[in-house]
Amino acid sequence: MIRPLKNGLLAFVRFFDTSAGHVDKRTHIGPNKIEWLRWFPFVLLHGMCLGVIWVGTSPVAVAVCLAMYVVRMFAITGFYHRYFSHRTFKAPRAVQFLMAVLGNSAAQRGPLWWASHHRHHHKYSDEVEDAHSPHQHGFMWSHIGWITAKKNFATDFESVPDLAKFPELVFLDRFDVLVPVLTGFAMFFLGVLLNHLWPGLETSGMQMLIWGFFVSTILLFHGTCTINSLSHLIGRRRYQTSDDSRNSWILAIITLGEGWHNNHHYYQSSTRNGFYWYEYDVTFYMLTVMSWLGLVRDLKPVPIAVRDRRPEATVPEEAA
């Protein structure tokens, strides 16, 4: 009786400090055993979305919700994924940190945790070791269940030595709940401020909290997770990769360009997932604008010879 209570208390403390207690660094090892307390954030986030029934809606609240979705989705796709996980371009340390904070505000854990698990995914894509392969573990597990598994809780620092050398990123990773909580407070006070300065907008602190943070975060979470669960199930395969990754224009809309998943698994070193002009990749467009402003540099293209090597193409050896 004492041991389960102790383990439950430790799991609760780790919501606030992921390094609390003894953290098993052997990630991805063991059965798919759910740590039930880790379902609490998902239940809370989804439950709070029901608050729209009481707070109502307003054009400004919906606009902020959509803006928070797009901005934070870009932080996830452009930086958590294409920068931290694959290093497909370079960024100054200040930009790296600010975008890590913005990505962390999406409540998808810290940048090192995200990158370490994603690198593991590419190493074992659609194999038993792949933590979120729908072919190996089913749709629901690949969509959300794997995040709640005890074996997937820790950050594998050995797989991200290039990121672990930055103490500010390690701090964000350790206290990964801090920024999302502060984001929620910021949304609340934004609503209070707007109501005070422009009451005609008909918004409030609670309305902005519900729409700007909770609804936006849940939409963002499920949008991101479709890449884990659906992009290995639906869509077309241009390249014969070793996994079942697929291209989907619908998922590309939802995720600002991540839906060209077969392209990405074929050549991971490219900053651009949409290899052809008609494959819209909003994340790449936004990174291109940032490069014009000097905020990022050295965006890596996909070589034309590599791009056009199909349909018998396999994953190029030079892909990271």
Q: Please give the pLDDT value at position 312.
A: 53
Question: What percentage of the chain exceeds 90 in pLDDT?
Answer: 80
Cα dihedral 186, 227, 262, 270 in deg (nearest 10)? 20
Q: In the prediction, which pLDDT does 8 show? A: 60
79 within 8 A of 103, measured Cβ to Cβ: yes
**Lowest-pLDDT range of 83-92, 167-176, 271-280, 303-312:** 303-312
pLDDT band at 73 (very low <50, low <70, confident <90, very high): very high
CB-count exposure of residue 158 (10 Å: 0-12, 13-18, 19+) = exposed
Residue 31, preceding peptide bond in cis (omega within 30° of 0): no
User: Is 320 a residue whose pLDDT tops 50?
Assistant: no
- Banded model confidence at residue 311, pLDDT cuts 50, 70, 90: low
Q: Helix %, strand %, coil % for the chain, to 5?
A: 60, 0, 40
Residue 169 clears pLDDT 80, i.e. is over it: yes
Give the start-to-end residue ranges of the domains of the chain: 2-16+36-124+155-307
What pLDDT score does 249 carry?
97
pLDDT, residue 209, reads 98
68 Cα distance to chain centroid? 14
Overall average pLDDT of the 281-289 stretch: 98
- pLDDT-wise least confident of 10-19, 34-43, 278-287, 303-312: 10-19
For the segment 84-103, the average pLDDT, to the nearest whole number, is 98
Burial (Cβ within 10 Å: 0-12, 13-18, ≥19) of residue 130: buried
- C-alpha 181/C-alpha 106 separation (Å) is 10
Tokens at 188, concatenated: 């609340």
Encoding tokens for residue 271?
A: 């900053």
